[in-house]
Chains A and B, each alone.
Chain A
Amino acid sequence: MAEEEKKEVRKKRRTATKAAASIGPMVKESIGGTIRAKQEGKKLAYTFIVCLYDEILSVMDIVPVWTENYAGVCGAKRDAERFLERAESLGFSRSLCTYALCGLGFDQWREKLGEMPPDAPWGGQARPDMMLSSGQILCDPRNKWYQAAQQFMPDVPIYDVGLPYPLYEDDIEVADVQDYYIKHITEELRGLVTFLEKQTGKKMDYDRLSEFVDLGERTWNMIWETYELRRAVPTPMGTGDAMNTMVPMVFMMGTQQCYDFYLALNKELQDKIARKEGVVEDEKYRLLWGGGLPSWFALTDFNYFNSKGAVFPVETTYRMIEPIYRLNIPDTNDPIERLAWRWFGYWTYWYDKAKKRPGSEPDVERLIQYIEDYQIDGVVMHEAFSCRTWHLGLIWQLNQLRKIYKPIPVLILGKDGEKTKGKRELPSLILESDIIDISSYSEVDTRNRIDAFIETLEQTKKNKV
């Protein structure tokens, strides 16, 4: 028999919204923009997303280089392996955060060559003038990555911004500790401003910062209202798209371009809802992406879910906003203080709600709220092996959710053959892979799990009383 050789053809990912489809060129332009900015002599700063000081950088005319983003781009283009291998050969363990490894491999290569590594995705990652670490309590690479990178760039200074928030304890009132935290965060941000003033030789324009913070706050509200439109049945936008539409939220906060993007997305979703145009024609299952960064090289898996009639109207990943008007930000003319209150309010947003349900926790409460608001049939999470920050917590959250929240009424067959009324937890699926390390991924195994999960959802619907 003549054997035909199968050629691997990667299917192009489909997005449901024009807004999501516009993101690829936007990111490419943004990365290209940092390289041009470098050539023009502007100051560049390596930094992390969800850092709180986006608006401060904008006002100081500092161009952020989002290092997690560049690693994600390498992953999405399936070109991270050579940078990961390089980091490994430098002695960094493969079990560290693969974003950090990719960045370290890239930086060492660029520094050694004195120019971008050959065929660097989208032109490469520009050399920074400073590196801004920003700890978020849980994610250690946010402090350690740049310290490690400094051995290749000893002339580039690091400023470490500590941005803590109180961990949840059901017998501690947030109001009792908030003043201390606000004071601390405010001082950290003021320290950053002093550092940036020294690096740029410019003074901070606080009036301008107030305008940017205002815009940032309006943008938060706009994003929240826009994403809430996805409650519609059929949902007009899924998590696959949200993995794109998060870009302005985390890379452009406080800019007019960011606000306008969500304004346009809002209109697009409203139009789709009016036309009853869903992500899929026949929406059968509504799923919650309950956490974990995605596998950037396998975003077509969202399309695979769609092909089975499953959609994701909501996700916790990259939904890094809450409505500002619910964060209890006190009146203050100090934009730095407003930022501090925004941070504190965001991270403690679910605390009071969690206290009201025995056994709950803020992250679990958030899952429950989304399950109810978005009429969710099942929960999917992704355990990215190299992301320790989420890995542990996800499994715990899922276990707690199963324990305290059983929304599905069923008849349970007893040993005596009698059926009794009972309640069951939502079906859940844990995908296992990585953010950018493709060697951890098997499409066949992943899709086999998805198939089995879809069959489970079908059975659960049939069993429902």
Chain B
Amino acid sequence: MTQYFAGIDIGSTMTKVVIMDSGIISSIIGPTGPEQRRLANKVMEKALNEVDLPFEAITYVVATGYGRINVPFADKQITEISCHAKGVAHFFPEVKTIIDIGGQDCKGIRIDNGKPVDFVMNDKCAAGTGRFLEIIADALGIKIEEMGEIGLEGNHPAKISNICTVFAEQEVVARLAEGVSLHNLVAGILESLANRVSRMVNRLHVAEEVVVTGGGAKNVGLVKALSDKLGYTVAVPPEPLLTGAVGAALLGKDIADKTLKDGVSLETKERSLKEIKIF
């Protein structure tokens, strides 16, 4: 009988769900939002509907991300550090350094033999996260999705001296008024973000292979700036937002396999997609 495993990654900005058998058979990416976080069950239902599976068919569910405690139907909660490590090592078995640039935080993970052995996190400040890019894109009147391509065309990146997101926003507007081109301004912003991220992850003694995940990995300009700054080629998974959820599902499979091997029964929650009552 086919076994199915689900990983649900509730990040600060995006919620990701993956259902796997031997590979990914269904995946959903959507905004988290205050309501969505309460309704993790709806996201799971949507992912199940895509492949016409009842929830009871799922052998094991692992929740990860900041909102992992708000997933009452998950059999286990595992931090995003372990899940990203597992998910990325699935796609890149030789990975040594993971940089995850999320919506409201940024992480660096050092990997040995596919397992996380050290990590650093910035969860204190919007600078160095996707939120920084969102605010700057708004200030410049461009879409965040366009920033990477625009930045790549900037040959003389503007120097952005402010680390604080709020002040950087003011600085960008002022530089624009001075006549700095949009391309160079965006290139400067991406360079400033790459500097901040690399400063943090350098604490881990970055080693190849370096893989970037999270929303930031979708920004080609940022990935290039990061690669230039670190001095390493930087790889990006096929869907960089999903690695945490993939890792969660794979860790669920590991748990199920181990219980089978040890001859003990797998402890799971009641298979019910109820709404969370208190949030």
Contact = CB atoms under 8 A, between A and B. Distances in A.
A444 B94 contact: no
Interface residues of A, number: 33
Interface string B75-87: 0001111100000
Contact of B118 (A1, A395, A419, A428): A428
Nearest to B113: A413
Interface residues of B, number: 25
B117 A456 contact: yes
Interface stretch (B119-127, B163-171, B185-193, B223-231): B119-127
Nearest to A432: B124
A451 B79 contact: yes
B123 A463 contact: no
A460 B121 contact: no
A464 B82 CA distance: 17
A410 B116 contact: no
B275 interface: yes
B250 to A, nearest CB: 14
A459 B278 CA distance: 33
A463 B79 contact: no
Contacts, number: 71
Contact of A410 (B112, B124, B205): B112
A295 to B, nearest CB: 14
B254 to A, nearest CB: 11
Contacts of A425: 118
B277 interface: yes
Contacts of A42: none
B277 A4 contact: yes
Nearest to B121: A449
A412 B113 contact: yes
A4 B278 contact: yes
B119 A448 contact: no
Contacts of B119: 452-453, 456
Contacts of A399: 203
Given A6-B278, A442-B123, A449-B121, A412 B112 contact: yes
Interface string B175-209: 00000000000000000000000000001010000
Interface string A272-288: 00000000000000000
B90 interface: no
B159 interface: no
B115 interface: yes
A445 interface: yes
B91 interface: no
A424 B94 contact: no
A462 B117 CA distance: 11
Contact of A459 (B66, B115, B205, B275): B115
Nearest to B77: A451
A427 interface: yes
Interface string B129-144: 0000000000000000
Residue in A427, A442, A459 whose Cβ sees the most chain B Cβ within 10 Å: A459
B79 A448 contact: yes
B118 A452 contact: no
Interface string A402-413: 100000001111
Nearest to B107: A452
Which of B117, B119, B278, B279 gathers the greatest number of chain A CB atoms within 10 Å? Answer: B117
Contact of B78 (A415, A444, A455): A455
10 contacts: A3-B278, A402-B205, A413-B114, A415-B94, A427-B117, A449-B121, A452-B81, A452-B116, A460-B117, A463-B117
